[in-house]
Structure 1
Amino acid sequence: MTVVAVRGKFLDLGESMLNEDGEMGGVKGVVTVTGAGVFDENERLLPLISSFLSEKLDTKKFALQTALTYGRNLGYCQDFLNGRRELSAWESDEKFLHVGQPILRAYVSQMQSLELGSKTVRNRDASIQSFISRFLCITRDDRPAFRADDPYASGLISPAPKSTLVKSCSLPDLRVLIESTSLERERCLLQFIFDSGVRRSEVPRVMRASIDEALRLGQAVSSADPRTIDTPSNYCLLHINGSKGGGDQIKERLSIVSPATLERIKRYHASAIYKRHSRKFPKDQAPAFLNAHGHPYTPNSISALLSRVSKRAIRNLKLAKPISPHKLRHGYAYALLNSKDLGNDLLERQVMLQKALGHSKPSTTEMYTRVPANLLNAICGTNQDAESKAMEMENLSIDTRLAIDARAKK
């Protein structure tokens, strides 16, 4: 199963295969394409699923990554339906027009027998419900719905997922990761992700100018700004161009970052290697982090970095399991909630955290408070001599900072 999704992509029709057939008259021109296609193992388009995803992208109800996830989830179900004899009379994804609740229950049971996580099962079930209930069973433009009955009329079929503790990167884990690379630019990046709570997709949009501004202004932000967070003067507020939301729109927010982390990044920016690579970018558009070739990091390259240093730490018996970029974001959440100089109580810190992480709903942030307070220190691995996130980051910077050779090539 292959899933493709694009938004606003330029397509040159002059390259179309239709131009190879003289009787068709050919096509030409450049068009802008937004849509999705899901193809089976024989490279045949699944038209209903593709139309559903394309409509969601076109109306900006789905971000690109959401469309890809839904496409894969529906593709998994399609594979299951292809093996059901009761549906053998129908081709391709027409099977979704006739599948009933008993078969969908069998699909949920199969996923559970494969020991998929309860959240994974629930997410796949929700994808199918959205496709059937909000696309196949909906009338549009005076045209009848694709199907009249809705097997999800009574709600989702899968049981509610189990509530589990968020698995995060602790401060000791972060130190191990940092010490598993000999490159200061990678150490800066790892500390920054942990101390700012950014998603891996947001890192390429963090500019050097934003780092400079955060250090220069500190808490000097407009009180009229709804994003403003009331924090102590020993922290900086960093502007983040977020990436959550339908239609891939940018959602701005302010993140609470320790000055020591930003100062460490500034020293990296003062290195000859960074200055040489950053000259090719327009003024105020130089990314804060550049890879070995002088290019901005991509989400995939950040995941590759975490994978590489995690494996190195595991080989050295310093880590038990790999650490993903999002676990660093979770680590930021626990570090902020456990920082005694932020807010008067846990509720105040939870409000700060909601704004800093860019959560639109308090319930999303509440997942970090399910752990009892007396276990929070153990989870965060907090040094008892350092009672704040800012002090922890300062100690980490001092202990792990490396000099950057002026002759370094990468």
Structure 2
Amino acid sequence: MDNSVVISAGKKLNITKSVAHEDLDGYPKVIFLAEGVAVFNERIELLPLISDFLTDYRRNYSDQSVKTYANNLRYLVKYLTTYDDNHVGSKRDDCLMTVHETEIQKYFDYCRNNKNHNDVEKPSISGKTLSNRDATYNRFFSEFLCNPPAGYKLMREDNPYGNGSLVVAAKESLIKPALFNDIEALLLVANNEREKCLIQFMYDSGVRRGEVESILQNSILQLSRESRKSIIVDYSTIQISSDYVAMEIKGNKGRGREAKFRNTVVSKETINRVQKYHSTLEYKKQKRKWGNTPIPAFLNQNGNPYTEKSVSKLIKRLSVRALKFGLINTMLSPHKIRHGFGAMLLNSEDLGKTQLDRLLLLQQCLGHQSLTTTEGYTKIPIGVWDKLVDRNGIALKKYQLMRKLKNRTRLGGDK
């Protein structure tokens, strides 16, 4: 259902297929949603408990997180009202008012099993995904129904999560970064400089796919003129060498519904490559449509900015092409490229005197709230580093890798 989760600020929703039409004559075909979150089941019935929870939750978290939580809760409700004898026939999301912890555990067992109750084959769900759903349900019951925020009434006394998690935590998985050779492969199969510049910039900056659209041409121009800039990390100043620039990134929306800004370290080699692309006839023609509006640094063939989805599609398309030519062994993704940035920075000894210095810098560049999250990058298998050394076995600096990448992937006839 396309409108199962509606995050609205005055949006009209077509509900002509709602089951409410079966019982109520004259039920409206279109409803107008006020500010907030509305979650619907497959029968296009509003799920009020979940909607209220996520309307409050959205004040401090991103819309993508809201959608993930909404779907996790919808999955539980659908299971309970379809397969659990105590809740079959329960209306909307009323089952969440009485569901017991053992019934939620049965749902997790159902997810692990590769057959449903009719012995029909279905895909089983990984432990990591189950842990994510478990965390959603824990927050819903512990911080909303059973311990409501200001402005909401207490909905139920007993908490199925009163004793903590209901699933065994998923085993910690090692970060699998895109390596230098992987990125080089994507650039080699790209047909134009705009795609090459975008992927090299993502690899060199660690930006998320959803942040690409906010990178502006004017920011690249200003950075190309800078020679030195410092980054402040945990009350200490890390001086970045003249081979890099510190770039401010407008992060995805977080707490308080406000943009989160952070600094990351980008090699001058990459900035210069992007700046050179901006001087091409193609880019100059595309930017005319923007007039006096701030111009995105990366525009697709139609002169539109790269969105979160279009970035993913681009990397998927190039990965398929690189796999076909035998240049890579597995599909790449925007997040693997971001992981590749982390691995590269930690191995670049000119970006901090110690591993801890580089770890703190990486935390700042990636926008992690907790250093524990960043520490996952220190557990990357040592074999990965073999890809980041020169012929003499000496580890290449980050800017040297970017120079190498630029020189080996340029096309004389780039558009």
TM-score category (smaller protein): 0.7 to 0.9
Equivalent position SS for 1:148: coil
Query: Do residues 215 (structure 1) and 224 (structure 2) align?
Result: yes
Whole-Å separation in 2 of the counterparts to 1:262 and 1:401: 15
Query: TM-score normalized by structure 1?
Result: 0.87
Cα deviation code 1:291-338 (max 9, x no counterpart): 000011100000000110011111222222211111110000000001
Alignment CA distance shift 1:243-1:148 (3 Å): same
Does residue 152 of structure 1 match 2:151? Answer: no
Q: Secondary structure at the match of 1:287?
A: coil
Which residue in 2 is equivalent to 1:389? 398
Task: Kindly state the Cα deviation for residue 244 of structure 1 after the two structures are TM-superposed.
Answer: 4.9
Distance 1:143 1:131, change over 3 A: closer
TM-score by length of 2: 0.86
| 1:246 counterpart (237, 244, 255) | 255
Alpha-carbon deviation of 1:229?
Answer: 4.3
**Aligned amino acid, residue 142 of structure 2:** S
CA distance in 1, matches of 2:297, 2:48: 43
Task: List runs of 5+ in structure 2 lacking aligned partners.
Answer: 17-25, 115-123
Mapping of 1:294-309 within 5 angstroms? 294-309=303-318
Give 1:61-100 correspondences, 5 Å limit: 61-82=60-81, 83-88=83-88, 90-100=90-100
Cα shift at 1:140: 6.3
CA–CA distance in structure 1, aligned partners of residues 69 and 88 of structure 2: 24
Distance 2:222 2:127 in 1: 43
Q: CA shift at 1:117, angstroms? A: 2.4
Q: CA deviation at 1:385?
A: 5.6
* Equivalence for 2:385: 377
- How far does residue 41 in structure 1 lie from its aligned partner after superposition? 1.7
Q: Which residue number in structure 2 is paired with residue 46 of structure 1?
A: 47
Deviation, 1:204, is: 0.3
In the alignment, the residues of structure 2 paired with residue 362 and residue 312 of structure 1 have an alpha-carbon distance, to the nearest angstrom, of 36
By how many angstroms is 1:222 displaced? 8.6
Residues in 2 aligned to 1:227 and 1:34: alpha-carbon distance in whole angstroms = 42
Are the structure 2 counterparts of residues 225 and 217 from structure 1 closer, same or farther at C-alpha, using a change threshold of 3 Å? farther
What SS does the corresponding residue of 1:254 show, helix, strand or coil?
strand
The partner residue of 1:128 within 134, 137, 140 is 137
Aligned counterpart in structure 2 of residue 166 of structure 1, from 163, 166, 175: 175
C-alpha distance in structure 1 between counterparts of 2:160 and 2:125, whole Å:
23
Report the Cα offset of residue 248 of structure 1.
4.1
Aligned-partner Cα distance in 2 for 1:45–1:336: 47
Is this contact kept in 2: 1:175–1:396, CA < 8 A?
Answer: yes
Residues 24-35 of structure 1 mapped to structure 2, 5 A cutoff: 33-35=34-36
2:238 and 2:292 map into 1 onto residues whose CA distance is: 29
* Contact 1:218 1:237 survives alignment (8 Å): no
What is the CA deviation profile of residues 130-150 of structure 1, one whole-angstrom value per residue up to 9, with x for unaligned ones?
112221113567875221100
Runs (4+) off by over 4 Å:
10-13, 139-144, 221-229
Q: Distance in 2 between matches of 1:244 and 1:346?
A: 30
CA distance in 2, matches of 1:3, 1:183: 39
Which of 182, 185, 199 is residue 194 of structure 2 equivalent to?
185
Q: Which residue number in structure 2 is paired with residue 21 of structure 1?
A: none
Contact 1:167 1:327 in 2 (8 A): yes
Q: For the structure 1 residues 244 and 160, does the alpha-carbon distance in structure 2 shift closer, same or farther, using more than 3 Å as the test?
A: farther
Aligned pairs, how many?
392
Aligned Cα RMSD in Å? 2.9
**Corresponding residue of 1:102:** 102
The question of whether the paired residues in 1 share the 8 Å contact of 2:143 and 2:149 is answered with no
Change (3 A) 1:239 1:69: same
Question: Match for residue 272 of structure 1?
Answer: 281
- Do the aligned residues in 2 keep the contact of 1:3 with 1:36 (CA within 8 Å)? no
- Kept after mapping to 2: 8 A contact 1:64/1:248: no
Which deviates the most, 310-319 or 131-140? Answer: 131-140
Q: Secondary structure at the match of 1:279?
A: helix
What residue ranges of structure 1 are gaps of 5+ in the alignment?
18-23
